[in-house]
Amino acid sequence: MSSAPEQAAVADEPLAPPAAVRPGSPTPLGARYRTGPDGVAGTNFALWAGGAEAVEICLFDDDGHETRHPLTELTHEIWHGFLPGVRPGQRYGYRVHGRWDPWAGARWNPAKLLLDPYARAVDGDFDGGPGAAGPRPALPAELYGHVRDWPQQEIADTVRDDRDSAPYVPKGVVVGDDTCDGPGDDEWRDDRRPKTPWPDSVLYELHVRGFTMRHPGIPGHLRGTYAGLAHPAALEHLTRLGVTAVELLPVHQFAHEDHLVRRGLRNYWGYNSIGYFAPHAAYAATGTRGQQVGEFKRMVRALHDAGIEVILDVVYNHTAEAGELGPTLSLRGIDNRGYYRLQDDARRYADYTGCGNTLHVVQPHVLRLITDSLRYWVTEMGVDGFRFDLAAALARSMHDVDMLSPFLAVIAQDPVLRRVKLIAEPWDVGSGGYQVGAFPPLWTEWNDRYRDTVRDFWRGAQPDVRDLGYRLSGSSDLYAWGGRRPYASVNFITAHDGFTLRDLVTYEHKRNADNGEGNRDGTHDNRAWNCGAEGESDDPGINALRRRQLRNLLTTLLLSTGVPMLVAGDEMGRTQHGNNNAYCQDNPISWLDWSLLDDPRWRGLAELTARLIGLRRAHPVLRRRAFFSGRPRERGGLRDLAWFSAEGTEMAERDWYAPGATLGMYLSGNDISQRDAQGSRIVDDSFLAVLHAAEHPRSVTLPGPPWAQTYELLVDTGDEGPPPADTRYKAGTTLTVPGRSVLLFRAESG
């Protein structure tokens, strides 16, 4: 064992007599306030720490004074004990003893106070300390289990740091089941949730802090918080748009990376989790001694009352402890070998995430941690589903991605989790990690093939329209297997990472200098077109074209079969000024600028978005539950899906391969294969969408009978506003379609 000889050992703290700790129970894991068998109230502490030699539960008073209690009971590698008199609001952490042998993957260090993986609330942050008056120039060196600044960095992770980390780390908080000032369990019954069916869903990805920080209708003290998102002013925008679910960027407790703190930045997105049960404390307006739990529950209830589901973006693939040179905050110090995937050289971590470590989901206790967390957020916090960051990393068995992996198998049979919305980001950064279209039934997926195809079509980079046809109609080439449905495809054009929609038509090259990494971070493959000038322009023609392209992209997204996902602010022209990796920009670069809605041009874009969502909601033919067959439902009927050339004739095989940028898509409302709840046939209007991505206007002929007798124009993205009411054309009419535009018609037979 190596240790730094010049460092002081941890100061002795008062040690309570062992008799003060009663045996308690190994279940449930975490800190649970309850009444003991003799009627005395207290808290049961239980921690899985396989391989550890001893565990101490450490309690902290308001002055930071620490009292340690040894947990002497050990059941199936779970250390546990019951402490009478410990009540909700009590701050605590663990010290775990064991051998220091990094070459074998053993990194126990009792000098480091560890956050309980099951802590339901967290108080404090990882960059504070005695006398700290704000962010430090670096994370404290005491946070590291090894000597971070050891002169020989190649072996630094093998030299143990014996300094006490307790003054510099946040503490877990005991949370009482009945003291959260939030909804009771009955609030989360199925009959009280929105329960929007997948085909009817419209997702809206937002950041709790960024969505509310600049909203003029939200009181200042609530901005950036769960309470701010629950405020009527925030809800009003969501309901006016018509979205059915918010997909919240990570709200698990997370930490800020050292390299960001050194540059005066913070982790904004939150993909650096360290507490899988705790709502991120910095987003709480009411307090961090358990109050954040009740505040989060009230936010969920407010969204549910508005008919909006809550989906969490969750990061179970890695933690904030990074690689072997990262800090020791929780799992590494509890049982490094048990929680993380290690290489053959056990000093090193298997990194399928690009973040330094990967959770070892094959291990039963790790799988239990994840599924316990998921069930907690559903049953006790009220959420309606999850989007899994780098889900392919969770689906790996020993090395390869395996769709029969323990994680996917457990989810499929879990009576709680199999009933909620499950969205995979179907890739990771490891070999074989790209798995779009491969996840099993129950799962939907972020479809980046959709994103790339639609971007390429509207920037004029597609040689033909073959791929576009698949993407518009639900990506059957990816998902029509194993009982999957069109709603397995979550269609998106932008997401939190990458350009905003406005930046996609304003910049071709990223501008990430503010991130402090020499513009090396963020993708180079933006598939963007700046409409003739790089960056913001004073040219009225360029700006008009850019707004038209935004209308084209949003219209395409909301007319496509599958589940559309919007990113907060795209409907009002939000810009990050070309930054395509704003993960560390907790400032107006990332926050929504609500003043955009005062500009008629951007307000008109939001109105178009709401109109398209309303059209989608009103017409089942636009949100199909089954893939198109391309055949009539009955003799004499029309095909449920037909494709047309600009000449008004059905596409022949050769037309799909011919160079072109115009495509007509006909959706028959008389030939929907599904039935309603009473078993009756569903009949809807029929629609014709004409997508024309070429620069110059094009003559387009409207298909004649039997497809329609007349066509009513509903959307024309060539104009800033909606078309005049009752604008109709006879079948067979030849129209001039403006360059780069979408026309949507209702097809009328009478």
399-457 pLDDT tens trace: 899 899 999 999 999 999 999 999 999 999 999 999 999 999 999 999 999 999 999 99
CATH pick for 630-748 out of 3.40.50.1820, 2.60.40.1180, 3.40.50.300, 2.60.40.10: 2.60.40.1180
Residue type at 535 in one-letter notation: G
**Residues of CATH 2.60.40.1180 domain(s) within the chain?**
630-748
User: What per-residue confidence (pLDDT) applies to 131?
Assistant: 47
Q: Please tell me the least confidently modeled range out of 261-275, 435-449, 579-593, 664-678.
A: 664-678
User: What per-residue confidence (pLDDT) applies to 399?
Assistant: 83
Average confidence score pLDDT of the chain: 93
Question: Buried b vs exposed e over 482-494: b needs ≥16 C-beta within 10 Å?
Answer: eebbbbbbbbbbb
**CA torsion sign, 581 to 587 to 592 to 597?**
negative
* Backbone angle region of 657, left / alpha / beta, with phi > 0 → left and psi within -120 to 50 → alpha: alpha
Segment 165-194 mean pLDDT: 79
Model confidence pLDDT, tens digit, residues 235-258? 999 999 999 999 999 999 999 999
Does residue 726 carry a catalytic annotation?
A: no
**CA torsion sign, 479 to 481 to 486 to 487?**
negative
H/E stretch holding 90: none
In the predicted structure, residue 327 carries a pLDDT above the cut 60: yes
* Backbone angle region of 749, left / alpha / beta, with phi > 0 → left and psi within -120 to 50 → alpha: alpha
CATH pick for 30-174 out of 3.40.1440.10, 2.40.160.60, 2.60.40.10, 3.10.20.740: 2.60.40.10
H/E stretch holding 107: strand 106-107
Q: For residue 8, name the pLDDT band (cuts at 50, 70, 90).
A: very low
In the three-class reduction of DSSP (H, G, I as helix; E, B as strand; rest coil), residue 388 is classed as strand
User: DSSP readout, 9-75?
Assistant: PPPP--B--GGGSB---S-SSEEEEEE-TTS-EEEEEEEE-TT-SEEEEEEE-TT--EEEEEE-EEE
User: DSSP readout, 336-360?
Assistant: HHHHB-B-SSTTSBP-SSSSS--B-
Question: Buried b vs exposed e over 694-718: b needs ≥16 C-beta within 10 Å?
Answer: eeeebebbbbeeebbebbbbbbbbb
Please state, in angstroms and rounded to a whole number, the distance separating the CA atoms of residues 404 and 446. Answer: 20
Segment 260-287 mean pLDDT: 96
Segment 50-67 mean pLDDT: 96
User: What per-residue confidence (pLDDT) applies to 177?
Assistant: 81
Q: How far is CA 483 from the centre of its chain?
A: 25
Which residue in 647, 650, 655 sits closest to 702, CA to CA?
Answer: 647
Q: For residue 186, name the pLDDT band (cuts at 50, 70, 90).
A: low
Specify the CATH architecture of the domain 200-620.
Alpha-Beta Barrel (3.20)
Backbone angles phi, psi at 123, to 5 degrees: -120, 120
Q: Please tell me the least confidently modeled range out of 15-19, 24-28, 31-35, 159-163.
A: 15-19
Backbone angles phi, psi at 39, to 5 degrees: 85, 0
User: What per-residue confidence (pLDDT) applies to 1?
Assistant: 43
**Residues of CATH 3.20.20.80 domain(s) within the chain?**
200-620
Strand 563-567 to strand 489-491: parallel, antiparallel, or no bridges (unpaired)? parallel
Catalytic-role residue among 425, 467, 570, 586? 425
Backbone angles phi, psi at 43, to 5 degrees: -125, 135
Q: For residue 10, name the pLDDT band (cuts at 50, 70, 90).
A: very low
Q: For residue 305, name the pLDDT band (cuts at 50, 70, 90).
A: very high
In the predicted structure, residue 179 carries a pLDDT above the cut 80: no
Q: Please tell me the least confidently modeled range out of 190-194, 556-560, 690-694.
A: 190-194
User: What per-residue confidence (pLDDT) applies to 631?
Assistant: 83
Contacts of 465 (CB under 8 A, 6+ apart): 457, 656, 660, 661, 663
In the predicted structure, residue 181 carries a pLDDT above the cut 90: no
User: DSSP readout, 266-330?
Assistant: ---S---EEEEEEEPGGG-SS-SSSHHHHHHHHHHHHHHHTT-EEEEEE--S--TT-STTS--SS
Catalytic-role residue among 127, 157, 389, 685? 389
Does residue 445 carry a catalytic annotation?
A: no
User: What per-residue confidence (pLDDT) applies to 160?
Assistant: 98
Q: Which two tokens stand for residue 376?
A: 């907690």
Q: For residue 39, name the pLDDT band (cuts at 50, 70, 90).
A: confident
**Residues of CATH 2.60.40.10 domain(s) within the chain?**
30-174
Strand 728-730 to strand 710-716: parallel, antiparallel, or no bridges (unpaired)? antiparallel
Q: For residue 134, name the pLDDT band (cuts at 50, 70, 90).
A: low
Segment 103-126 mean pLDDT: 97
